Every structure is written in C-alpha cells, then in structure tokens.
C-alpha cells in the first residue's frame, strides 16, 4: 500500500512538472531598421514586452545616427556628416565611428568605413545587370585612400572627398548593445536575429539553440550549430548578386581592389561580440585564407568558410555541431 502511494506521488509529480515547464514562446513583431527586419523571440520571460521595447529603442537610436540616406532631427546623422563634412556628433555616433576605425586598422583595411560610396555604385550597377567601369573603380579607390576623419571632442570632420558609411558595422553595433541591455536585465532566454547576418542566441529556457547556416547558392542548410550564448555574424552572397560567366558580382567589395571577390560563398564568424562578428565577416570575405588564419590566431574567434557547397575551413569543435 505504502509503495503504491509513493509511486502515485512520483507519477503526480512527473505529470505536474511536465505541465508546468511547458515552453512559452513570446514572439514579437519585427523591428524594421537598416533595410532589415530584426526579430526577437523570448522564452518564458516575464515582462518581455518591456524588453522588446528596450531593444527596439536601441536599434532605432543606432539607425538614427548611422543612416547615410536621411538627416535626423538633430542633424547629426552620417548623412549630415557626408553632406556638411563637419557635424556636432553625439557620444553614440562617435563611439561607432571610433570602433569602425579600430576594426579598419585591425583588419588591414579589409573592413573600411570609407568604401560605402563604391559599394553603392556597385549595388546600382548590379541592379542594372552591369559591371562597374574600371576607370570609375580606380577613381573611387583614390578617393577612399585619401579620405580620413578627425574627431575633436564632439566635432567630427571628414577630410577628403570620400563619404563615411557605417552600414558594415551599424547592425552589429546595435545587436551588441541589445545583447548588453538584455544581459544587464538578466534576460538570458531569447534569440535575436538581425536579418540572418547577425544572430545572438542566449538560451532556450536553459536549453541549446540549433542554428542552421544556409548555402547562399543552393539555399540548403550546410551546417547546424548548437549551443547557448552564441553570437554569429555572417557575410555571404545570398542577396544582391548577379552572375556573369561563372563570376558572382555582389555587394561585398574588396576595399583594396574595388572588386567583389569570389574567394568564398559564405563566411560565418563566431565570437562573444556582435560588432567583431559582423565587421570581421565582412573583412574576411575579401581576404586570402592565410591572412584570415593569421588574424584568428590572435583573436578569440571562430570561423566557418564555405565555397562551392563545401566547408573549406572551420575552427569549431565537434561539440558545436548538431
């Protein structure tokens, strides 16, 4: 009798536990910034709406100062800087610019915030199924190499004819701020997806996330990564490309040659910082593999590099693969 009652007690416990630990998925509306839909899903998070609004504000704040298409109410966006050549910038913009310049130096100029004008010209050419004229490329490279920036207190000045474009870092920067904001509020159970190119996965209510990486050519999943607290930045030719004679012309321009490189189809960078993941994935896309290896030896980052539907180089341990 006693044994039966104990068994009954345990069975009741199992039943009640299985009911009470059901995963509550709190999917929120996408945040539309920087030509991207940013999506965040919470799992069993109290007051998740409040944190969603906090994350939304971060992306909007970064977008407000980093936009190179429009001014803002304080006239201190990148658009204003490119037009007026000198602005009174706020702390947020100054920090993003300084971060961009640091990464430019660390990557030997393969991430370059002054390449934006040339990138826009390439995008326009690709949209018209055209290849950019080599004379224009040479002129733009000269401008890029002769442009610099000066920051004194809150006064930011562009020197030279080139424009500043923080498109290659703004999303990663906002994602990193969002991650820190959620961490500071002890929110750990979420996944934040900034247009597939920036993903931050905390935990799925304590469990692993499984994240698929897509081959940009075949659209098949070529790797499934599992884990918690993953920060992934990916550069690929999935979008904004055209193909002529087996060569892909795309939006990831080598700042040294002025050309879109075809060394790789997709590069994913994993590290603990979304800014590094975003900007380094962009820089690596134009680098030779040996140069990439030299850089990752010095930094605590991992990469997965895809070419012709094969992983040609990766540094992750087996425990990361699902």
Partner 1 sequence: MRKFKNDVFLIAGIFVVLLIGLIVYGFVTSKSGKQAVVYKDSEIMMTIDLDENNEYIIQGEISELIIIVSDGKIKVKESGCENQYCVLDGYISRENEVIVCLPNHIYIKIIGSE
Name the site residues for partner 1 (rule: CB under 8 A).
1, 4-5, 7-8, 11-12, 14-15, 18-19, 22, 25, 27, 29-32, 35, 37, 39, 41, 191, 193, 195-196, 210, 212, 219, 238-240
| Min CB(22)–partner 1 separation in Å | 7
| Min CB(73)–partner 1 separation in Å | 21
CB nearer partner 1, residue 31 or residue 275 = 31
CB nearer partner 1, residue 32 or residue 312 = 32
Q: Which burial class, exposed, middle or buried, applies to 8 when counting CB atoms under 10 A from its CB (0-12, 13-18, 19+)? A: exposed
| Min CB(41)–partner 1 separation in Å | 6
CB nearer partner 1, residue 4 or residue 298 = 4
CB nearer partner 1, residue 1 or residue 184 = 1
| Min CB(8)–partner 1 separation in Å | 6
| Min CB(286)–partner 1 separation in Å | 23
CB nearer partner 1, residue 12 or residue 83 = 12
Q: How far is CA 313 from CA 70, 140, 228, 307, 310, in A?
A: 40, 32, 23, 9, 9
CB nearer partner 1, residue 36 or residue 76 = 36
| Min CB(75)–partner 1 separation in Å | 27
Alpha carbons 201 and 41: distance in angstroms, whole number: 10
| Min CB(143)–partner 1 separation in Å | 29
CB nearer partner 1, residue 13 or residue 86 = 13
Q: Which burial class, exposed, middle or buried, applies to 100 when counting CB atoms under 10 A from its CB (0-12, 13-18, 19+)? A: buried
């Amino acid at each position: 009798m006693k044994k039966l009652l104990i068994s009954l007690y345990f069975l009741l416990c199992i039943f009640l536990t299985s009911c009470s630990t059901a995963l509550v998925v709190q999917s929120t509306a996408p945040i539309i910034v920087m030509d991207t839909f940013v999506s965040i899903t919470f799992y069993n998070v109290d007051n998740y709406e409040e944190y969603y609004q906090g994350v939304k504000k971060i992306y909007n704040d970064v977008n407000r100062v980093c936009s190179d298409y429009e001014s803002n109410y304080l006239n201190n966006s990148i658009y204003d800087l490119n037009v007026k050549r000198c602005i009174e910038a706020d702390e947020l913009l100054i920090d993003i610019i300084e971060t961009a310049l640091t990464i430019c130096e660390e990557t030997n100029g393969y991430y370059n915030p002054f390449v934006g004008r040339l990138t826009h010209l390439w995008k326009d050419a690709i949209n018209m199924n055209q290849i950019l004229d080599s004379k224009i490329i040479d002129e733009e490279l000269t401008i890029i190499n002769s442009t610099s920036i000066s920051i004194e207190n809150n006064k930011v000045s562009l020197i030279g004819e080139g424009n500043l474009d923080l498109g290659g870092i703004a999303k990663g920067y906002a994602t990193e701020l969002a991650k820190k904001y959620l961490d500071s509020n002890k929110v750990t159970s979420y996944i934040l997806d900034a247009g597939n190119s920036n993903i931050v996965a905390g935990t799925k209510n304590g469990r692993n996330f499984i994240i698929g990486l897509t081959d940009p050519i075949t659209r098949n999943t070529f790797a499934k990564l599992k884990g918690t607290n993953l920060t992934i930045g990916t550069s690929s030719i999935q979008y904004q490309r055209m193909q002529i004679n087996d060569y892909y012309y795309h939006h990831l321009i080598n700042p040294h040659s002025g050309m879109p490189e075809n060394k790789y189809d997709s590069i994913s960078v994993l590290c603990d910082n979304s800014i590094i993941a975003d900007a380094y994935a962009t820089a690596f896309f134009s680098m030779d593999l040996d140069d990439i290896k030299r850089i990752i030896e010095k930094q605590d980052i991992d990469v997965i590099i895809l070419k012709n539907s094969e992983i040609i180089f990766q540094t992750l341990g087996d425990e990361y693969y699902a």
